[in-house]
């Protein structure tokens, strides 16, 4: 049975909302893993978060997203350096929290669509991912590049593009991070894309086509489970659903209406669904 988790931003209204009490909410909902949005790592009380994880008996996973001021693909050297510095702090945070991975949009700025210099930006992304990979190896954390849909990113929209980028970075500490919400938009066949990722799959998000929790849409979860089983995936299954239209989080993820009448009840439903339908690989 694979460990199942939930991204703690499921309960956040604003990105800086306290994460510590959300660990207990994840535990109460039936999850094994709390996934942390590591957006401002130097502002987090990592020791307290780790103590709470240990007290609750919870595992951790971590993710982050680069922005236009911390973009390792930027033509501006100072911005690239700020991006590498941010990734270092995130990797260090993941290690303190006991997370084996740092996933997310860690190769270019999330939501930024450059109109021209994509070839140059791709080269910068590869160069700096190689630097970040050496830092990750030092801490024993795997960098997992999230494959995004075309409306949120430009560099890797498909598993094939992700594998091409991995080949150029050429580090065993860099893998792919797949998310069924994005796969549903970009891939012709979700299960085939998972099989194509194979041993390069390092982290997996379970989200419905409508960004609700698993079991509330039309993702073919049986096929997902079978594909994960075939490739021998042994990582975490994390639901990164966003259901609340309030505040910064809802606005950033384009959630304009409530997608859950009772978020806590829906979280429990998601944990039960994943354990019953997907995690038994």
Catalytic site residue 199? no
How far is Cα 245 from Cα 53, in angstroms, rounded to an integer?
A: 28
C-beta neighbour count of 125 within 10 angstroms: 26
Catalytic site residue 35? no
- Residues in Cβ contact with 149 at an 8 Å cutoff, skipping those fewer than 6 apart: 157, 181, 182, 185, 186
Least Cα distance to 144 among 121, 180, 171 occurs for 171
Q: Which residues of 226-260 are buried (b: 16+ CB within 10 A; e: fewer)?
A: ebbeebebebbbbbbbbbbbeeebbeebebeeebb
Task: Spot the catalytic one: 35, 92, 146, 266.
Answer: 146
At 249, give phi and psi (nearest 5°).
-65, -50
How far is Cα 64 from Cα 73, in angstroms, rounded to an integer?
A: 16
Least Cα distance to 156 among 226, 107, 120 occurs for 107
C-beta neighbour count of 275 within 10 angstroms: 18
List the structure tokens of 41.
């790592």
Task: Spot the catalytic one: 92, 186, 208, 240.
Answer: 240
Name the residues annotated as catalytic: 146, 240
């Amino acid at each position: 049975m694979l460990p199942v988790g939930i991204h703690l931003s499921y309960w956040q209204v604003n990105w800086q909302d306290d994460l510590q009490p959300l660990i207990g909410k994840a535990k109460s909902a039936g999850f094994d893993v709390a996934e942390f949005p590591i957006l401002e790592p130097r502002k987090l009380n990592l020791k307290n978060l780790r103590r709470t994880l240990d007290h609750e008996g919870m595992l951790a996973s971590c993710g982050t997203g680069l922005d236009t001021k911390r973009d390792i693909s930027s033509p501006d050297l100072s911005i690239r350096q700020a991006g590498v510095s941010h990734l270092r702090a995130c990797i260090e945070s993941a290690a303190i929290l006991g997370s084996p991975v740092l996933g997310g949009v860690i190769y270019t700025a999330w939501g930024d669509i450059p109109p021209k210099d994509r070839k140059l930006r791709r080269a910068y992304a590869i160069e700096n991912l190689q630097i970040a990979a050496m830092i990750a190896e030092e801490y024993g954390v795997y960098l997992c590049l999230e494959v995004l849909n075309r409306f949120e990113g430009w560099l890797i929209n498909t598993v094939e593009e992700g594998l091409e980028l991995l080949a150029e970075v050429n580090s065993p500490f860099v893998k792919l991070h797949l998310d069924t919400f994005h796969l549903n938009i970009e891939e012709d066949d979700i299960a085939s894309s998972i099989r194509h990722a194979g041993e390069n799959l390092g982290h997996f998000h379970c989200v419905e086509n409508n960004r609700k929790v698993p079991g509330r849409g039309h993702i073919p979860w049986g096929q997902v489970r079978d594909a994960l089983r075939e490739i021998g995936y042994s990582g975490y299954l994390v639901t990164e659903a966003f259901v609340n239209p309030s505040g910064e989080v809802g606005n950033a993820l384009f959630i304009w209406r409530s997608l859950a009448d009772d978020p806590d009840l829906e979280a429990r439903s998601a944990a039960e669904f994943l354990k019953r339908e997907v995690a038994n690989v």
